[in-house]
A and B are shown apart, each in its own frame.
Chain A
Amino acid sequence: MKVLLVEDNERVSQFVLKGLQEAGHTTDHAANGRDGMFLAASEPYDVIVMDRMLPGDVDGLAIIEVLRRTGKRTPILILSALTEVDDRIRGLRAGGDDYLTKPFAFGELLARIDALHRRAHGVRPDVPLTVGDLHLDPLTRKVSRGDRPIALQPREFKLLEYLMRHAGQVVTRTMLLENVWDYHFDPQTNVVDVHISKLRQKIDAEFERPLLRTVRNAGYMVTSGE
């Protein structure tokens, strides 16, 4: 995946670029708004990570608006030190696809970049999902593993569906809170973990190969691979 990072802080940039490269992505970096604008408009990127406050009082949102007006549909993740919800909404209205506040955990950033990329490459909502021998049909709302049907509560179904749509990718607790419960705040508990362990009981407990894994310091992943 080719990622453009528009960020002026040198240490943050180094850290993010290094992390992205280690995760196997190709990266470009722009330290100011003009370079960022130029690269974003001329090169084909899979995901753009855009800081809001750029040198010379340039607002990342302005760049995003210009890109969107010129027809660029590249998924954009906004980084910002501004946490007010109003700000978040403004960022997303300007044409951003996701919003992450500083300071952030790198795992969170990586997971969100993956999710954005996945979403940009066509999600068909009604197609049955399969991971290993685990099947989920969004239309009939039936879940089965092997030939054994699994009964899930509506919210458990939503949780599993989200995890399976991002199969092979790390999904963070915050992403789960936002997308499964629509909770845009930090409940300051480990309740998500408890939900996951309940789900795990249902889909993994009686099977030899666990599909729902915990990724240390990051989140969870549903995968059939090693």
Chain B
Amino acid sequence: MRSSAVSLAAASVALGVVALVLFAAPLWYAWQVTIQESRTEILQADAQRLAEVYRRDGEAGLAATIGARVRMQIVGERILLLTDGRLRPLAGNLASWPATVPTAPGNYRVTLQSGAAGTQSALAHVERLGDDYLLVARDNRLFGPLVHRFWYGLAAAFAALLICGTLVGLITRRRLMWRVHGIRQTISAIMQGDLKQRLPTGRREDELAILAHTINGMLDQIEVLVNGVRNVSNSIAHDLRTPLAELRSRLEQLALIRPSPAETFTEVDGAVADIDRVIRIFDALLRLAEIDAGVRRAGFVRVDVSDLAATAAEFYAPAAELRDVRLECRVGGPLPVVGDPVLLSQALANLIDNAIKYAPAGGGVVEVVAERRGDGVEITVSDNGPGIAGGEKARVLERFYRGDASRGTPGAGLGLSLVQAIAKLHGCGFELRDRRPGLEAALRFPPAAATARAERPDAAASAARAILAPHDGR
């Protein structure tokens, strides 16, 4: 298995080796150059001193000095050789002039064959004293241990790097695997249906913890959705069962009693009304599903919400009149937003319908206001009815929830959740505020929705709407 921890460690080790080489190579080079230079200087100074002796005491004197020096020193450390003009040795610790060394004065790097020590690399200096030749050489072997120590050090550093890297890689991998294993266990528990489980996040804020936080957020959302679906299916079961049960008993009764034709027709009409109720709930649910799925966003165009608000208010005016409720509509100039005109109309209609239903009959006031507020656009629908208690506000947005006050009034309890879903689709805020007395429902379009240009040009949009609404020559 290719582990990310191991490859990371390997990469670090490789990087360390490169750094080591980059560090050692110049050092090695500088060292070599310096040693060469200082040793050459030493040889030259040595030769200089011997030349001094030659000038002062002549050939015999120098031969004696060299002889004394050779006897005093340790074997092989320093090589001295004095020969006459025909390269016959006069004094020194070499038997003859080595073939590898030229006779011209200067500095050479050579290989020498010297008695017991065998072949050795050396630095040689050749000097011409009168007719004689002087060879001063110094064995390189002296620096051997130093060079070895340098290479050993380098090798040790390399090994340490390798071992540490491998260890770190293995440990990291173990720890990662351990944490990943924890996550996997939690996730498999979740997959088995325990949606309450959450990933361990620990106290640290590392990458895995951030990932775990994100996944936990996702799980929260999934849990909410799943619970929502569960609630909805329970509610569907309840809300569809009731009218279907009524329908069933109505028809059964009819088959059983076989009443007069007139009565039969009344019952049949009632049955059709029952079915219409079921269909209505179905349609509302389908629309909710459609909105939740976000497919409707494809139909977004530029619409004037003040126009929509005015139309909705005007549509409901007779209904308000019938209940002796004053319906006021205050809309400013055009307030263009990007949205689905059908859905926005439906949201407004639902809000106004609710407001009229809950405003007290005789003396109730419903206000519809559309205005620019700050950067955005806000539409509010308010009434002076009983309002909604603080705790109930969130619940009225739930699907199929019907407040105690609404028992006995028609409706499936989907109105406000539909408004909320529509608001969500449009990126709108939807808020229910207390008005004491009464309730204010506010739809807030953010600046983006309120000012953004429609994705489709308006011509195409109106064409689409024209198709939707085949007019009779209007």
Residues of A with C-beta under 8 A to B315:
155, 181, 183, 187, 191, 195
Distance in angstroms between the alpha carbons of A98 and B410 in the assembled complex: 30
> Distance in Å from the Cβ of A186 to the closest Cβ of chain B?
7
Given contacts A191-B318, A194-B322, A195-B318, contact A186 B283 (CB under 8 A): yes
Q: How far is the CA of A184 from the CA of B411 in the complex (A)?
A: 19
- Say whether A86 contacts B472, CB under 8 Å: no
Q: Which of B24-32, B217-225, B330-338, B342-350 is near enough to bind chain A?
A: B342-350
Say yes or no for A18: interface residue by CB 8 A criterion.
no
User: Nearest residue in A to B467 (C-beta to C-beta)?
Assistant: A92
- 13 contacting pairs across A/B (C-beta < 8 A): A83-B283, A86-B299, A88-B468, A92-B470, A115-B472, A125-B474, A161-B474, A182-B311, A182-B469, A185-B287, A186-B280, A189-B319, A195-B315
Which residues of the partner chain B approach A103 to less than 8 Å between Cβ atoms? 275, 279
User: Is A124 engaged at the interface, CB distance under 8 Å to the other chain?
Assistant: yes
Q: How far is the CA of A97 from the CA of B467 in the complex (A)?
A: 8
Name the distance in Å between A217's Cβ and chain B's nearest Cβ.
7
Q: How far is the CA of A183 from the CA of B464 in the complex (A)?
A: 14
B342–A188 touching, CB < 8 Å: no
Contact pattern, B 447-474, Cβ under 8 Å of A = 1, otherwise 0: 0000000000000000011011111111
Rounded to whole angstroms, the CA-CA distance of A162 and B474 in the bound complex is 9
A115 to B349, CA, bound (A): 27
A93 at the interface (CB under 8 A from B): yes
Asked whether A93 and B467 contact (CB < 8 A) given A155-B314, A188-B410, A194-B322, the answer is yes
Q: Judge if B353 is at the interface, Cβ distance under 8 Å.
A: yes
Q: Which residues of A contact B468 (CB under 8 A)?
A: 88-89, 92, 184
Taking a contact as CB atoms under 8 Å apart, the answer to whether B318 and A198 are in contact is yes
Q: Is the CB of A184 within 8 A of B342?
A: yes
Which among A98, A161, A191, A194 is the interface contact of B470 at CB below 8 angstroms? A98
Q: Is A85 an interface residue (CB 8 A)?
A: yes
Q: Determine the distance from Cα of A187 to Cα of B472 in the docked complex, in whole angstroms.
A: 23
Given contacts A86-B299, A119-B472, whether A181 and B311 have CB atoms under 8 Å apart is: yes
Complex CA distance for A119 and B470, rounded to whole angstroms? 10
Does the CB pair A189–B318 fall under 8 Å? no
Checking A83, A89, A166 against B467 with a beta-carbon cut-off of 8 angstroms, the contacting residue is A89
B residues less than 8 Å from A93 (CB atoms): 467
Please state if B318 and A194 are interface contacts (CB–CB under 8 Å).
yes
Give A179 to B465 CA distance when docked, in angstroms: 11
Tell whether B1 is near chain A: CB-to-CB under 8 Å.
Answer: no
Please give, as numbers and ranges, the residues of chain A lying within 8 Å of B280 by CB-CB distance.
Answer: 186, 188
Report the separation of the CA atoms of residues A180 and B316 in the bound assembly, to the nearest whole angstrom.
14
Is A35 an interface residue when CB atoms closer than 8 A count as contact?
A: no
A123 on the interface (CB 8 Å rule)?
yes
Cα separation A86 to B411 with both chains bound (whole Å): 26
Q: Give the residues from 39 to 89 in chain A that come closer than 8 angstroms, CB to CB, to chain B.
A: 83-86, 88-89
For the complex, count residues of A whose C-beta is within 8 A of B: 41
Residue on A with the closest CB to B276?
A: A105
Q: Is B286 an interface residue (CB 8 A)?
A: yes
Number of interface residues of B (CB under 8 A): 40
**A133 interface residue (CB < 8 Å to B):** no
* Chain A residue at minimum C-beta to C-beta distance from B318: A194
Chain B, Cβ-Cβ closest to A82: B286
Bound-complex Cα distance A124 to B346 (A): 32
B474 pairs with A191, CB closer than 8 A: no
Q: Mark B406-445, 1 if CB is under 8 A from A, else 0.
A: 0000110001000000000000000000000000000000
Q: A83-B286, A86-B295 are in contact. Are A188 and B353 (CB under 8 A)?
A: yes
What 0/1 pattern do residues 253 to 288 of B give for CB contact below 8 A with A? 000000000000000010010010001100100110
The 8 closest A-B CB pairs, nearest first, are A125-B473, A194-B318, A123-B473, A185-B346, A92-B467, A191-B319, A187-B349, A184-B342
Which B residues touch A85, using CB under 8 A? Answer: 290, 296, 299, 342
Q: Which of B315, B316, B345 has the most CB of A within 10 A?
A: B315
Q: Which residues of B contact A92 (CB under 8 A)?
A: 467-468, 470
Give, as a whole number of angstroms, the nearest-CB distance from B17 to chain A: 62
Q: Which residues of chain B are within 8 angstroms of A135 by Cβ–Cβ distance?
A: none
B298: Cβ under 8 A from any A Cβ: yes
| Given A183-B315, A191-B316: A86 in contact with B467 (beta carbons within 8 A) | no
In the bound assembly, the distance between CA atoms of A185 and B298 in angstroms comes to: 18
B88 to chain A, nearest CB (A): 115
- In Å, the complex CA distance between A184 and B287 comes to 12
Docked complex Cα distance between A183 and B465 (Å): 11
Kindly state the separation between the CA atoms of A118 and B410 in the bound complex, as whole angstroms.
36
Mask of A80-122 contacts with B, CB within 8 angstroms, 1/0: 0001111011001100011000010100000000010011000
Task: Kindly report which residue of chain A lies nearest to residue B474, judged by CB atoms.
Answer: A125
**Nearest A-chain residue to B278, judged by Cβ:** A103
A124 to B345, CA, bound (A): 30
* Known contacts A84-B290, A84-B295, A187-B349; A179/B318 CB under 8 A: no
The chain A residue sitting closest to B471, CB to CB, is A179
User: Knowing that A188-B280, A191-B319 are A-B contacts, what are 16 other residue pairs whose CB atoms are under 8 Å apart, sorted by A's residue number?
Assistant: A84-B290, A85-B290, A86-B296, A86-B298, A89-B468, A92-B470, A125-B473, A158-B474, A162-B472, A183-B346, A184-B469, A185-B343, A187-B353, A191-B316, A195-B318, A198-B318
- A185 neighbours in B (Cβ, 8 Å): 287, 342-343, 345-346, 349
Question: In whole angstroms, how far apart are the Cα atoms of A84 and B286 in the complex?
Answer: 8
Selected from B272, B275, B290, B469, the residue in CB contact (under 8 A) with A179 is B469
Interface residues of B in 126-146 (CB under 8 A from A): none
A92 to B464, CA, bound (A): 9
A162 to B343, CA, bound (A): 24
Q: Which residues of A158-200 are within 8 A (CB) of B?
A: 158, 161-162, 165-166, 178-179, 181-189, 191, 194-195, 197-198
Contact of A189 with B353 at beta-carbon distance under 8 Å, contacts A86-B299, A97-B470, A123-B473 already known: yes
> Is B295 a contact of A179 with CB atoms below 8 Å?
no
A185 to B348, CA, bound (A): 12
